[in-house]
């Protein structure tokens, strides 16, 4: 029992540290600008973070299988654009149908990446770098370079992002629902667990008859679907669909995953950690303007934070290995 307790403690140490950091950061920011921890600002912080949170789930699954997806910003732009065009042309369309449309398109795009990676063994970086540009280009093509603006969208559609359910902003509700669905998928279905098995030891997975390629395909399809969903939400939130929507957003999503303790070498990643990582990034984005840091600092700070997180991980692992070697009876 004692051993078990100690293990659980070390595993949650990282999340504890992150939580502590978030609290310290919040307090510090609050000190500088009392507008930070108001109900209003927290609500807007969470609303702004919701889309990031949804995408981070998909990216976590991709990273767990030792892959990466750089195409999600483009997929968001494309699905957002197509959905916005649909909404503009068919004003009566129900918001649910619009969401479904965007998600479905995202799944199809994700499946293309999935085939490239799972069937043809194309490196995930290469496949998704290609997709990133193809899909971005297609976004401009379908829109003819024009924007779809607020006035072309129905109020119901915009209400996806601005409306409230039970007093909570819809985006937050959707993010929470997505988290619940994936908590179930990851922790309580065989497919979900096997995704982790594939990432943890691909060779062993193949020997024990786990359909490795099918699972990798699935992961990219899920990522595509979530990107599609996020694209629709993004367009509804900003009430405009543009060719350069969410450009470079994949970097933030990957950053959230890495901060949340998802291992880039596969097999490791928990939703609880992911949530903290996402909130951490959300706070950074929200708080920097509040304490008068120029928004242009945001990208650099994010990059440094990501690199620091990655390097810390390596150091910790090296240390653990060294201790293990010392304990070996030789």
Query: Which residues in 298-317 contact another protein (CB under 8 A)?
Result: 298-304, 306-307, 310-311, 314, 317
- Residues within window 256-285 making contact with another protein, judged by CB under 8 A: 258, 264-265, 267-268
Residue 266 φ/ψ region, left for φ over 0, alpha for ψ in the -120 to 50 degree band, beta for the rest:
left
β 164-165/168-169 pair status: antiparallel
d(CA 143, CA 75) in angstroms, rounded, equals: 14
**End-to-end distance of the chain based on CA atoms, in angstroms?**
28
Residue 33 corresponds to which tokens in the numbers above? 């600008």
Nearer to another protein, 89 or 317 (CB): 317
Cβ(237)–Cβ(44) under 8 Å? Answer: no
* DSSP secondary structure code for residue 65 in this structure: T
Nearer to another protein, 105 or 174 (CB): 105
d(CA 228, CA 234) in angstroms, rounded, equals: 10
Q: Of the candidates 126, 168, 180, 316, which one interacts with another protein according to CB under 8 A?
A: 126
- Residues within window 43-62 making contact with another protein, judged by CB under 8 A: none
Does residue 203 touch another protein according to CB under 8 A? yes
What size, in residues, is the chain?
A: 330
Q: Of the candidates 72, 99, 116, 253, which one interacts with another protein according to CB under 8 A?
A: 116
Does residue 7 touch another protein according to CB under 8 A? yes
Q: How far is the CB of 244 from another protein (least distance, A)?
A: 10
Q: How far is the CB of 23 from another protein (least distance, A)?
A: 26
Angle at 303 between CA 175 and CA 308, to 5 degrees: 100
Residue 125 corresponds to which tokens in the numbers above? 């970086």
Q: How many residues bind another protein (CB under 8 A)?
A: 80
- Mark the segment that binds another protein (CB under 8 A) among 49-57, 97-105, 135-143, 279-287: 135-143
- Residues within window 87-106 making contact with another protein, judged by CB under 8 A: none
Does residue 4 touch another protein according to CB under 8 A? yes
Does residue 255 touch another protein according to CB under 8 A? yes
Does residue 208 touch another protein according to CB under 8 A? yes
Cα torsion through 19, 227, 101, 127, rounded to 10: -160
Cβ(216)–Cβ(115) under 8 Å? Answer: no
Does residue 141 touch another protein according to CB under 8 A? yes
Does residue 129 touch another protein according to CB under 8 A? yes
Of 309, 115, 134, 301, nearest to 220 by C-alpha is 115
Nearer to another protein, 44 or 133 (CB): 133
Q: Of the candidates 204, 289, 291, 319, which one interacts with another protein according to CB under 8 A?
A: 204
Does residue 297 touch another protein according to CB under 8 A? yes
Q: How far is the CB of 183 from another protein (least distance, A)?
A: 12
Q: Of the candidates 110, 243, 260, 261, which one interacts with another protein according to CB under 8 A?
A: 243
Q: C-alpha distances in angstroms, 313 versus 170, 258, 283, 321?
A: 36, 10, 22, 12
* DSSP secondary structure code for residue 293 in this structure: -
Q: Of the candidates 25, 86, 88, 140, which one interacts with another protein according to CB under 8 A?
A: 140
Residue 53 corresponds to which tokens in the numbers above? 């949170």
Q: How far is the CB of 8 from another protein (least distance, A)?
A: 9
Q: How far is the CB of 320 from another protein (least distance, A)?
A: 10
């Amino acid at each position: 029992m004692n051993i078990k307790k100690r293990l659980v403690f070390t595993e949650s140490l990282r999340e504890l540290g992150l939580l502590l950091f978030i609290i310290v950061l919040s307090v510090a920011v609050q000190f500088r600008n009392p507008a930070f921890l108001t109900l209003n600002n927290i609500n807007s912080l969470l609303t702004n973070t919701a889309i990031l949170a949804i995408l981070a789930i998909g990216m976590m699954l991709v990273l767990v299988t030792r892959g990466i997806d750089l195409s999600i910003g483009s997929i968001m732009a494309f699905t957002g654009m197509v959905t916005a065009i649909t909404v503009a042309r068919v004003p009566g369309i129900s918001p649910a149908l619009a969401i479904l449309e965007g998600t479905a398109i995202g799944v199809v795009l994700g499946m293309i990446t999935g085939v490239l990676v799972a069937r043809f063994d194309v490196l995930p970086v290469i496949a998704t770098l290609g997709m990133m540009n193809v899909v971005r280009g297609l976004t401009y093509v379908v829109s003819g370079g024009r924007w779809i603006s607020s006035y072309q969208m129905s109020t119901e559609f915009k209400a996806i992002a601005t409306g409230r359910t039970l007093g909570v902003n819809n985006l937050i509700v959707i993010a929470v629902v997505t988290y619940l669905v994936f908590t179930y998928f990851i922790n309580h279905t065989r497919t979900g667990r096997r995704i982790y098995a594939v990432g943890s030891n691909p060779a062993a997975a193949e020997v024990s008859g786990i359909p490795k390629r099918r699972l990798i395909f699935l992961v990219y399809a899920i990522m595509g679907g979530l990107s599609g969903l996020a694209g629709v939400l993004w367009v509804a939130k900003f009430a405009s669909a543009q060719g350069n929507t969410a450009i470079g957003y994949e970097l933030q999503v990957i950053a959230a995953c890495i901060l949340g303790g998802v291992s880039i070498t596969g097999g490791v990643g928990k939703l609880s950690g992911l949530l903290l990582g996402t909130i951490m990034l959300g706070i950074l984005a929200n708080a920097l303007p509040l304490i008068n840091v120029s928004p242009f600092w945001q990208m650099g700070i994010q990059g440094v934070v990501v690199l620091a997180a990655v390097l810390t991980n390596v150091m910790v692992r090296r240390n653990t290995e060294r201790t293990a070697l010392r304990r070996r009876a030789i």
